[in-house]
């Protein structure tokens, strides 16, 4: 009796399924013996390789980003590590200027200046110092704002490909902080913090206060710098043109000095070590403050222009590209977050009435900015704020 072909086919399929099941259990058993970190890295490596050719949208930009990713990663890592060093450098340099001002310049001001000028220098200098210290501390310690990581009904414009969470409008990912930042402007290594929705005002006020302080030191100390530089040059010439003839122990043998007469001693210099250090400190203070005033002043002006336009540093590049794209179609791009120059400054500083120009702009203030940084649909400007 010959076996039925249908029976043989079913038997063959059963044997094949049994073999596949045994192979699957064997492979899972081997993988389960590997450490979890090894399995995760192997899965991530396979995913990274597959992502290079996962669809037809891969272009030269994607390839270049993939090739440059190790360099970007190294730069972000170094910036994250050296952030604390940059903060310490700011504190040390600022403290050195304060030491010179209090130890060297303040006694000079009290002894030589008239009472009105003494009141001006002491009053303005301490106001500027308070503004610098307050805003720098708040800028470094205030979180810039992060989008929620749990499910919510907040509208979003995209999904972050690194955090895998919804990104609200004006939110961008920071590779150094390794998270998304609300209304991100940039990552500042001198703050060791991102500049975002909740600390952008502190950052700008610190830059403005530091620039004004450096300009004040540079202008008021210009004559002192010129006098100190001339004094240092004069000290150098005095060291070269000291009176007296240097005589060694062979002087008596060659007849320079008569026998029994002692060697001529060089007189001490007409200046002291304290005088020399004072003049060098003045030169150091003027050069440092002038350099910072130029560099930081340019950055402050740039951010003032961005605030007047109602955009951040990142949005500046995005808006330019969007404007060029719409211009090709004969359209004009309009920034939806631009409420007008004056209103942009009111929103930025949180000015709601006239007294706020004093309490929230000219004096240190820890008030929160408008909105929560998640939604930007409603303009925060009220009609009664326009005439302020």
Integer Rg of the chain from CA: 35
Report the sign of the C-alpha dihedral through residues 359, 364, 365, 370, in that order: positive
Is the separation of the CB atoms in 281 and 104 below 8 Å? yes
Residue 186, beta-bridge partner list: 195
- Cα separation of 309 and 316, whole Å? 9
- Cα separation of 366 and 137, whole Å? 11
Give the pairing type, strands 186-188 and 172-174: unpaired
Out of 177, 180, 188, 214, which one is annotated catalytic? 188
Helices (H), the chain: 5-33, 36-50, 60-100, 106-112, 115-141, 200-220, 222-240, 251-254, 273-309, 313-328, 341-349, 356
| Separation of first and last alpha carbons in the chain | 106
Instruction: Establish whether 188 is a catalytic residue.
Output: yes
Cα 54 to chain centroid distance, Å, stands at 37
- Cα separation of 366 and 134, whole Å? 9
302: left (phi over 0), alpha (psi -120 to 50) or beta: alpha
Is the separation of the CB atoms in 188 and 176 below 8 Å? no
- Cα separation of 79 and 82, whole Å? 5
Q: Which residues are catalytic?
A: 188
């Amino acid at each position: 009796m010959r076996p039925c072909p249908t029976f043989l086919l079913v038997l063959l399929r059963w044997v094949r399924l049994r073999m596949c099941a045994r192979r699957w259990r064997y492979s899972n058993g081997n993988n389960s013996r590997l450490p979890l970190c090894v399995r995760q890295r192997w899965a991530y490596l396979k995913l990274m390789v597959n992502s290079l050719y996962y669809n037809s949208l891969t272009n030269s930009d994607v390839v270049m980003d993939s090739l440059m990713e190790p360099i970007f990663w190294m730069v972000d890592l170094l910036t994250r590590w050296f952030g604390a060093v940059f903060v310490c450098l700011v504190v040390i340099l600022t403290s050195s200027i304060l030491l010179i001002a209090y130890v060297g310049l303040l006694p000079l001001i009290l002894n030589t200046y008239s009472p009105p000028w003494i009141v001006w220098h002491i009053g303005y200098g301490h106001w500027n110092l308070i503004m610098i210290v307050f805003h720098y501390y708040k800028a470094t310690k205030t979180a810039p704002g992060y989008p929620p990581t749990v499910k919510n009904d907040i509208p979003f414009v995209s999904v972050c490909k690194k955090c895998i969470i919804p990104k609200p409008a004006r939110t961008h990912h920071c590779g150094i902080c390794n998270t998304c930042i609300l209304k991100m402007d940039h990552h500042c290594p001198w703050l060791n913090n991102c500049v975002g929705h909740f600390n952008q005002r502190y950052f700008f006020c610190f830059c403005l206060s530091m620039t004004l302080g450096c300009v004040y030191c540079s202008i008021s100390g210009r004559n002192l710098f010129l006098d100190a530089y001339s004094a240092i040059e004069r000290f150098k010439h005095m060291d070269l043109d000291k009176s007296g003839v240097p005589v060694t122990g062979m002087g008596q043998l060659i007849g320079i000095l008569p026998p029994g007469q002692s060697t001529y001693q060089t007189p001490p210099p007409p200046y002291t070590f304290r005088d020399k250090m004072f003049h060098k400190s003045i030169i150091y203070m003027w050069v440092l403050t002038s350099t910072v005033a130029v560099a930081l002043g340019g950055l402050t002006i740039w951010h003032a222009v961005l605030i007047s336009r109602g955009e951040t540093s990142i949005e500046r590049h995005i808006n330019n590209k969007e404007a060029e794209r719409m211009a090709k179609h004969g359209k004009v791009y309009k920034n939806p977050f631009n409420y007008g120059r004056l209103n942009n400054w009111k929103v930025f500083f949180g000015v709601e009435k006239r007294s706020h120009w004093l309490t929230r702009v000219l004096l240190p203030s820890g008030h929160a900015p408008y909105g929560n940084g998640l939604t930007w649909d409603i303009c925060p400007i009220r009609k009664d704020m326009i005439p302020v």
